[in-house]
Structure 1
Amino acid sequence: MSRRILVIGGVAGGASAAARLRRLDENATITVFEKGPFVSFANCGLPYYVGDVIKDDKDLVIATPARFKERFNIEVKTMHEVLKINKEDKTIEVKDLNTDDTSVESYDALVLAPGAFPIRPPLPGIDLPGIFLLRTIPDSMQIRAWMDQYKIKKAVIVGGGFIGLETTENLVHRGVEVTIVEMGTQVLPPMDPEMAEVLHEHCKAKGVNLCLGDGVAGFYKTDTGLEVATQSGARYPCDVAILGIGVRPETKLAKEAGLELGKLGGIKVDEQMRTSDPNIWAVGDAVEVKDFVTGQMALIPLAGPANRQGRIAADAINGRSSTFRGVQGTAVCGVFDKVAAATGASEKTLKRYGIPYEKVYLHPNHHVGYFPGARNINFKLLFNPQDGKILGAQAIGEAGVEKRIDVVAMAIQQGMTVYDLEESELCYAPQFGAAKDPVNLAGMVAANCLRGDAPVIQWEPIIKGECDPNHVLVDVRTKGEVANGMFTGARNIPIDQMRERMSELPKDKPIYVYCGVGIRGYNVVRMLKQCGYDAYNVPGGWTTYSFLSKCVK
């Protein structure tokens, strides 16, 4: 007899599960219930539809109910809300939102993919006209209609995460003056503060007003539109406000059905995405999964993991042994003409869980400097100080950023070390990279640190005065470079004068060396160590100091 498999929710996880189920079982009866009007759409593309980069909302639709039926023989029922799961008799209660009729559907296996709902805090004025969420195609259509009708000139984006930044970029491209109000002290929370500082400066240069460390207190109607008030008492007039505060897992159905939830509030699942009920699986933004690096449970609403989870749930329903490895938060965001990407654990996360780490910074070009168009990448690599195992990476630049983070992401998943990055064989041609790719260089800098060839001292203890009080700080840049700024108390001995002036430095004190980006500092450290000095390089040099110093308290 054919099995009856029901899927609640579409988009990434549910749609992937349904398609995979059909590929594994041609005889099963598969039905997808979706509360909204679209079963499979590109919600990551919504800011670009608002910005008119994507012209037609139909381009956001990945697959229609008709396509599911024609290609996969899967019945998709949009505008159908599942009201209740009766796990004892393996049925669900469904309401047709078009007719208000309800029905009961039985299942042999059930997949939950309810997703997450956007946070809409109960603030004064939150329901005023002109305040929008951006989570679905209808949301984006409403925003576009409002913009066209009222010819908006000013917007406030509440939240500086991925959606907030992408929406900001698209509104600016449409000639709108944008203010970002963010309760935290930085944009892009998955990144570390000093990396986010690069984006802060970039956004300001593009005319964006950043209001950081100041949450929204309320929304007020004015004669000319809206006003967003913050907790500090500031007020920002606007014609439209878009909420991008974040999302929470949609667990109402699961909770009411008696399924077990995790400590973070998501649906608890095993490695095969099975819930506490043996006949029910859950995937996507609603579930808690293990962080691949830290081993801690996490809520990470990303499309890539949701798609993989959908496939694994389908495998498990069909008796296969596939398991979900966990998430590592690999993500990328375009911010005007810069790209920010990250994978693995951030320094903040490692500190929070007490995981030992070391870090290095470097600032290479994305391809060789002699070929036209070389663009700088700000790169941060985190690794285990004992065995060099890679823990995380972050990068910001104008080109080649996501390529390098993708390489590190795969290295993390394979449990590789910085020594493996040293030896990675990557594509090279002048217009694409360098014989020593930025990924290779990151591995080399980290490996040199671990081998003791070029041990490092970080900027933070130097800035805070928490390092060896007898240290000598040496700036090895040129006279022209230091004329634009150098660390107070540092000695300037340009690298090309170091051999003849080395005797000016004491051998009984630690010597901390920095340059512009770290390369000259490394060469000087090698020189000094071979001459009997206790020398350390400051990774990333003055370039790292220029943005990290703004974050050190």
Structure 2
Amino acid sequence: MNLLVIGGVAAGTKVAAKAKRVMPDAKVTIVTKGKDISYAGCGLPYYVGELIEGKDQLIVNTPAKFSALTGALVQTEREVTRLDVKEKKAVVRNLRTGGEEIYTYDACVIASGASSIVPPFTGVNLPGVFTMRTPDDAIESREYLKANQVKKAVVVGGGFIGLEVAENLLAQGVSVTVMDMAPQIMPGFDPEMADYAVRHLAKKGIRVLTSTKLEGITGTLKAEGVQTDKGHLPADMVILSIGIRPNTGFLQDTGIEMFKGTILVDEKLRTNVPDVYAAGDCAMVTNRLTGARQWSPMGSSANMEGRTLALALNGEEVSYPGVLGTGVVKLPGLNGGRTGLTEEAAKAAGYDVETVLSVTDDKAHYYPDSSFFAVKLIADRKSRRLLGLQVLGPGAVDKMTDIAVMAITFGGTLEQMTSLDLAYAPPFSTAIHPFTAAVQILLNKMNGVMDSFTPAEYMAGAADDYRIIDVNPAGPTIPGVTYVDLTAVDAQVLANPRGEIPGLGKDEKLLLVCAKGKRAYLLQNRMKHYGYTNTRVLEGSSFFNVIRTGNAAGQVTVSPEEITRVKALGCLHNKGTDNFNVRVITRNGKVTAEENRRIADAAARYGSGDVVMTTRLTMEIVGVPYDKLDELRDFLAEGGLETGGTGSKVRPVVSCKGTTCQYGQLDSYALSEKIHERFYHGYHEVKLPHKFKIAVGGCPNNCVKPDLNDFGIVGQRIPSYNVDICRGCGKCQVEDICPMEAARVVDGKLIIDKEKCNNCGRCVGKCPFKAVDDGIYGYKVYIGGRWGKKTAHGKALSKVFTGEEEVLAVLEKAILLFREQGKTGERFADTVNRIGFAEVEAQLLGDEILSRKDEIIGAQLHLKGGATC
């Protein structure tokens, strides 16, 4: 057989390699447009984030290595321009020589893959605009990221690749905004699951803007921002992850049946044209549940299709059953997995759909690093079979997803899944496996044992006329609602002549809310026993849902958990109200005119109309109602602004005017912006024992109190004095100008007392005879200062630094030392005092602590932190 394979990445190389193994005598030729074959397309975001270090690691096989291993001929940099299905030949342009080549075949496999969609907007070809489809894309974007010191990036597209790129850019210290024209991110997940992910990403520092259309890239010599239908987003770098389009343009006149550019194939991967097959991202297969056509451009599917096709070409009775749409995605601190049908797709396919959302432990709750799974199951009431699963959690969501794949594939019923003999040990799972627990909850719901509202129903307002009952195990946590102690219910009912829980009528509509849903279900069970007829459990309860309750005044009352959550986003609660002050990060109080207008508009639209400055030179929009916080943050994000500046982290830096002041020895604004990007943004995810404040003063006047911050930098100008030039004037200009009285004439010569001199530089150039005519610019560093309840003056390091990068290195060492050696809840001043200034100074002036940077940042330290404001 003469087998021609068009395309050499996943499906193409798989079918070629397998064909040579089962048909050793076959002539197998791969022609591919790229210079690389078999590259790790799904690994590209992790090369950008430097988790994959070397370029060579992206290439699974080189053409020469692949040929030697398999016996297939690989022809790279060949573009197929026309396929002649009657003559059974492909017309190919050699991209190296420009010449035309002809390749004949007995069988042809089209595995030409897909390419990134680049919309025809202005600016898409500017430097700094990238797609993420080939190794070159990842390599060039990483090089640009480093060479241009990118501080802000916009990722256009909220699919898996876009979100993974966003995570990796965030890890590189870049401020990231993800935008998508769709109403949600994470296609293939239901809206409530995507909404939870958006809230999680916001907490991690990634802004997400949905229902936002790209209109163009701004900039002249390079990308400077993204223009959307809602405003302008400043950006130093833009990643276009809008989607992909099959590479099938060369097939237009072949008669091959296609749909929206994809090649339609049957279970043998055959097209409608004899001896022409297709596999991978250019082919459309079927959904194995519904039998409907489905495009599933995944590397896993491509490999399986390639293997099946090779066996079929060898005459074996095999077929490809189609896809379930299985996928997993890694987000910062959260993973997502899905398989099968979404709730909407299942209903559209005609199933009698029931769903449930359960939140369970992902391993034994007492085991270190145990966390959660939020699992949504979709099932058919009639057949009792599983139709789909979606799961979110920090851990092994792939495990949960793969169990569901097997359950769906082999058609097991929910009842059969309740007794699966799944692996258990505390480091890996719970005694009742999380998958089994979710199935059991779903069966309880289907069998009428549990009556509930799903998060989707709750978001849609299904519970608006229900009275919320707080069933949290730790006591009342939802303000303004009735609390019921589950453990006291039996005694309360037995003691009540009417057989009721005090204050709760048996026919009243009651929504039962606890931490994750279990105690709410247990309470419902007891209440049904005592004759309550209209109770509903909120699936996922306060863990998964944003709980909003109406109080007597008709206002929104926000739970303490929500107050804590939004506080981490820079939204500070006004006690006694449902309003918040929202901190807008302004890079040291400096905003552009456009940003200032955006902040003013935001205050007018969403707040009281007032904007106040904090002592840290951030701006606070006053009086924003709780239910407007998300809208406000989205509105600010559309203008390139972010909220934050709270928590046990590096706080926004504060500085004086620097060289715009007559005394300024350094450009405080420029230095503070570097610190802001490198340490406020770059260390955004690094939890510290407490808040860490940084101040930059342009001179020793200390206008921004550098010595009352955890780390203070003061501009210096150390006078250079030439005693041989001094004439011992009776009225010395240097002595007169010195504010510290460090300069004085003694025995006819000027003396400068270095103990008194604060290196303010005022004396430089004041001597008419040029005895003090020069000065060395430098930086004095103070550590361990603070102000507030317990004021402490920082102490200066003994060395005056003369290089900016040297100072920034000392600052980074101070942050790392505080993280590693500070105790949770103590300020840096306490750490310095406890360890000893001399020991801290020795570590800051040495380099050993920097050598352990990755170890210190990666350690599980200060998970709670000590900052309260």
Question: What TM-score does the superposition give when structure 1 sets the normalisation length?
Answer: 0.92
Matched, 1:428 2:424: yes
Q: What is the 5 A alignment of 1:476-487?
A: 476-478=471-473, 480-483=475-478, 485=479
Distance 1:528 1:540 in 2: 20
Match of 2:449 among 446, 450, 453: 453
SS of the residue aligned with 2:239?
Answer: strand
Match of 1:419 among 383, 402, 415: 415
Which residue is 2:65 aligned to? 67
SS of the residue aligned with 2:361?
Answer: coil
Q: Larger relative contact order (C-alpha < 8 A, sep ≥ 6)? A: 1
Deviations 1:367-407 (A, max 9, x none): 11112221122111111123321111111111122111111
CA pair 151-429 structure 1, distance change in 2 beyond 3 A: same
Cα deviation for residue 472 of structure 1 reads 6.1
8 Å Cα contact 2:473-2:515 kept in structure 1: no
Letter in 2 for 1:202: H
Letter in 1 for 2:98: D
8 Å Cα contact 1:90-1:106 kept in structure 2: yes
Letter in 2 for 1:245: I
Cα deviation for residue 462 of structure 1 reads 5.3
8 Å Cα contact 2:354-2:446 kept in structure 1: no
8 Å Cα contact 1:7-1:18 kept in structure 2: yes
Distance 2:463 2:291 in 1: 32
Which residue is 1:164 aligned to? 162
8 Å Cα contact 1:421-1:443 kept in structure 2: yes
SS of the residue aligned with 1:270?
Answer: coil
Letter in 2 for 1:257: T
8 Å Cα contact 1:155-1:178 kept in structure 2: yes
Distance 2:348 2:548 in 1: 19
Which residue is 1:495 aligned to? 486
Match of 1:475 among 459, 470, 475: 470
Moved more, 334-343 or 499-508: 499-508
Matched, 1:383 2:383: no
Distance 2:58 2:198 in 1: 30
Deviations 1:82-119 (A, max 9, x none): 11111111111112111112121111111000111211
Q: What is the 5 A alignment of 1:67-216?
A: 67-216=65-214
Deviations 1:47-104 (A, max 9, x none): 1111221111111111121122212110001111111111111111112111112121
Cα deviation for residue 468 of structure 1 reads 11
Matched, 1:526 2:522: no
Distance 1:214 1:472 in 2: 36
Cα deviation for residue 224 of structure 1 reads 7.7
Which residue is 1:259 aligned to? 256
Distance 1:121 1:498 in 2: 61
Cα deviation for residue 351 of structure 1 reads 4.2
8 Å Cα contact 2:414-2:443 kept in structure 1: yes
Deviations 1:479-500 (A, max 9, x none): 73434x47xxx64322122223
Match of 1:398 among 394, 397, 422: 394
SS of the residue aligned with 2:167?
Answer: helix
Distance 1:142 1:323 in 2: 40
Distance 1:102 1:333 in 2: 42
Q: What is the 5 A alignment of 1:281-300?
A: 281-300=277-296
Distance 1:220 1:464 in 2: 38
CA pair 533-250 structure 1, distance change in 2 beyond 3 A: same
Distance 2:356 2:548 in 1: 13
Match of 1:316 among 312, 323, 342: 312
SS of the residue aligned with 1:314?
Answer: helix
Letter in 1 for 2:28: I
Letter in 1 for 2:420: S
Moved more, 145-154 or 159-168: 145-154
Q: What is the 5 A alignment of 1:39-58?
A: 39-58=37-56
CA pair 150-547 structure 1, distance change in 2 beyond 3 A: farther
Question: What TM-score does the superposition give when structure 2 sets the normalisation length?
Answer: 0.60
Deviations 1:234-280 (A, max 9, x none): 11222221100011222213333210113x44111001100001201
**Structure 2, gaps ≥5 residues long:** 494-499, 550-626, 628-869
Distance 2:23 2:451 in 1: 57
Which residue is 2:269 aligned to? 273
Cα deviation for residue 148 of structure 1 reads 3.0
Distance 1:422 1:530 in 2: 25
8 Å Cα contact 1:255-1:261 kept in structure 2: no
Distance 2:548 2:275 in 1: 51
8 Å Cα contact 2:358-2:540 kept in structure 1: yes
Distance 1:89 1:441 in 2: 59
Distance 1:457 1:188 in 2: 23
Distance 1:455 1:386 in 2: 19
Matched, 1:343 2:366: no
Letter in 1 for 2:512: V
Match of 2:19 among 18, 21, 41: 21
Distance 1:333 1:465 in 2: 30
Which residue is 2:859 aligned to? none
Letter in 1 for 2:126: L
8 Å Cα contact 2:150-2:174 kept in structure 1: yes
Distance 1:540 1:53 in 2: 34
Match of 1:333 among 325, 329, 347: 329
Cα deviation for residue 187 of structure 1 reads 2.0
Cα deviation for residue 416 of structure 1 reads 2.0
Moved more, 86-95 or 456-465: 456-465
Distance 1:462 1:61 in 2: 47
Which residue is 2:246 aligned to? 249
SS of the residue aligned with 1:164?
Answer: helix
Moved more, 334-343 or 531-540: 531-540
Distance 1:77 1:21 in 2: 17
Matched, 1:442 2:438: yes
Cα deviation for residue 12 of structure 1 reads 0.9
8 Å Cα contact 1:225-1:237 kept in structure 2: no
Distance 2:472 2:48 in 1: 47
Cα deviation for residue 352 of structure 1 reads 4.3
Distance 2:222 2:67 in 1: 49
Distance 1:154 1:544 in 2: 30
8 Å Cα contact 2:355-2:376 kept in structure 1: yes
Cα deviation for residue 527 of structure 1 reads 2.4
8 Å Cα contact 1:361-1:544 kept in structure 2: no
8 Å Cα contact 1:119-1:245 kept in structure 2: yes
Letter in 2 for 1:212: T
* Structure with greater Cα Rg: 2
Distance 1:321 1:461 in 2: 47
Distance 1:241 1:468 in 2: 42
8 Å Cα contact 2:264-2:271 kept in structure 1: yes
Distance 1:387 1:475 in 2: 36
Letter in 1 for 2:274: P
Task: Among all aligned residue pairs of Structure 1 and Structure 2, give the percentage whose two residues are the same amino acid.
Answer: 33
Which residue is 2:604 aligned to? none
SS of the residue aligned with 1:256?
Answer: coil
Letter in 1 for 2:541: G
8 Å Cα contact 1:389-1:418 kept in structure 2: yes
Distance 1:53 1:464 in 2: 41
8 Å Cα contact 2:285-2:293 kept in structure 1: yes
SS of the residue aligned with 1:361?
Answer: strand
Distance 2:385 2:409 in 1: 11
Cα deviation for residue 163 of structure 1 reads 1.1
